[in-house]
Amino acid sequence: MKVALLGTGRTGGRVRDILGVENVVAFDETNLPTLDKLKSCDVAISFLPGPALLEHLELLVDSGLPLATGSTGFEWPKDIDSRLKAKGVAWITASNFSLGMNLVRGMIKVMSKTPELFDEFDFKLREIHHIHKKDKPSGTALAWQKWLGQKADITSEREGDNPGEHKLTLVTQYEDISVEHKSKDRKIFAQGAIWTAKKLASGEIAPGLHDLEEIMQKELGL
C-alpha cells in the first residue's frame, strides 16, 4: 500500500515511522501535491489543519484517491458526499483516530442513559492539548458531547506538547462517575489512520464521506 501523506508534522511523522519511508509519499511546503504524484499512490492520509485541507480539496477529489483525514476545525462543503459518490470514491473523516476511542464511545453511550436514573445531574468535560492546537473545544470533545446527547460544561486547556487528554465526569448529589482517555504517544493516531487507510484501500467502504465512528460501530457491533 503506497500512502500519500499530507501533513508531516507531529502525527504525520509517526505514520511515516510506522509504514517506512519507502511506502509513503510525503507532501509538504517543499513537495506540493500534484495530480500525477497523488495518482501514483493507493490511498491518502491527511493530518493537515482544516483550512489547509480545504485548499487541496479539489485536487484530492480529482485524484480519485480514497482519503483518511484527521483534519478538524473546518466545515465540509455541503455537496462533498454527493461528489464523492459520483466519483466512486470513499473518504473517512475522524475527530480522533485513536482505536481505543471507539471503546470509550460505548462507555459514553451508557452514560447517556443518566436521565433515566437521576433527576439532578451535571456533566463536566475537560480536554487538554498541546499549545499549538488552535480549535477549542477539540473535535474529540465535541464528538463526546454528541455521543452523550446531553449538555456538558466543557473546559479547554493548552499546555506543552500534550497529545491529548479528555475526561467526562457525571456529577450527582452523592457520587461522581468519570470516563477518561489519555493519549501517551501520537502513534495511536497514526496507527488508527493506517488502519482506516487499509480499510479504504481494500475497497470495503462504499463511495461517499463517512465518519470513522460509523465504520467502527459496525466493526465492533456497537
User: Strand, coil or helix: what is 76?
Assistant: coil
**What is the pLDDT, as a whole number, of residue 222?**
61
Sheet containing strand 3-6, strands side by side: 24-27, 3-6, 43-46, 67-69, 90-93, 208-211
Given the residues 56, 133, 166, 199, the one annotated as active site: 133
| Burial zone of 134 (CB within 10 Å; 0-12 exposed, 13-18 middle, 19+ buried) | exposed
Active site residue 129: yes
Q: How many residues does the chain have?
A: 222
Please give the Cα distance from 144 to 126 (Å, whole number).
11
Q: Which CATH number is 101-182 given?
A: 3.30.360.10
**pLDDT tier for residue 8 given thresholds of 50, 70 and 90:** confident
Q: Nearest-CA neighbor of 216 among 109, 100, 49?
A: 100
Q: Where are the domains of the chain?
A: 3-97+187-220, 101-182
Architecture (CATH level 2) of domain 3-97+187-220: 3-Layer(aba) Sandwich (3.40)
Given the residues 56, 78, 129, 181, the one annotated as active site: 129
pLDDT digits (tens, 9 = 90+) for 202-214: 999 999 999 998 8
**Torsion sign, CA atoms 102, 149, 210, 49:** negative
Longest Cα pair distance anywhere in the chain, in angstroms?
A: 62
Give the amino acid at 76: W
Pairing of strands 122-129, 176-182: unpaired
* pLDDT above 90: residue 219: no
pLDDT digits (tens, 9 = 90+) for 144-196: 999 999 999 999 999 998 989 999 999 999 999 999 999 888 889 899 999 99
| pTM exceeds 0.85, yes or no | no
Enter the DSSP assignment of 22: G
What does each C-alpha distance from 48 to 22, 26, 67, 148, 206 come to in angstroms?
21, 12, 12, 28, 24
Active site residue 210: no
